Amino acid sequence: MINLELPQKLQNTRQMTHQLAESVFRPISRKYDRIEHCDTPEELHPVGQMAAGMRGGDGKKSGGDEVKNGANLQGIVSVEEMCWGDVGLMLSIPGQGLGNAAVQAVGTPEQKEKFGSLYCAMAITEPEAGSDSAAVQTTARLDGDEWVLNGEKIYCTAGQRCDAVVIWATLDKSQGKAAIKSFIVPRDNPGMKLVRVEDKMGLRVSDTAAFSLIECRIPYDHILGSPEIAQTEEERKKAFGGVMQTFDNTRPQVAAMALGVARAALEMTREILEKEGVAADFSKSLYNSSALEAEIYRMEADLDAARLMTWKAAWMADNGQANSKEASMCKAKAGRTGNAITLKCVELCGEAGYSEEQLLEKLARDSKIIDIFEGTQQIQQLIVARQQLGLSSSELK
Residues that are catalytic: 374
DSSP state of 37: S
Task: Say how far apart CA 207 and CA 151 lie, in whole Å.
Answer: 21
**Beta strand 208-219 with 146-157: parallel, antiparallel or unpaired?**
antiparallel
d(CA 345, CA 268): 8
Hey, CA dihedral for 346, 14, 306, 320, is it positive or negative? Answer: positive
Name 149's bridge partners: 140, 216
How many CA atoms lie less than 13 Å away from 132 in the CB half-sphere? 12
Nearest to 271 by CA among 344, 361, 358: 358
State how far the Cα of 56 lies from the Cα of 68, in Å rounded to an integer.
13
Q: Quote the radius of gyration of the chain (alpha carbons, Å).
A: 21
d(CA 72, CA 12): 16
Which of helix, strand or coil describes residue 296?
helix
Q: Are the CB atoms for 176 and 231 separated by under 8 Å?
A: no
Residues contacting 43, CB < 8 A, separation 6+: 24, 28
What CA–CA distance (Å, rounded) separates 195 from 159? 11
> How would DSSP label each residue in 250-276?
HHHHHHHHHHHHHHHHHHHHHHHHHHT
One-letter amino acid of 189: N
Per-position DSSP letters for 363-394, written without gaps between them: HHHHHHHHTTTTS-HHHHHHHHHHHHHT--TT
Provide the terminal-to-terminal Cα distance of the chain, rounded to the nearest Å. Answer: 39
Q: From its phi and psi, is residue 215 left (phi > 0), alpha (psi between -120 and 50) or beta? A: left
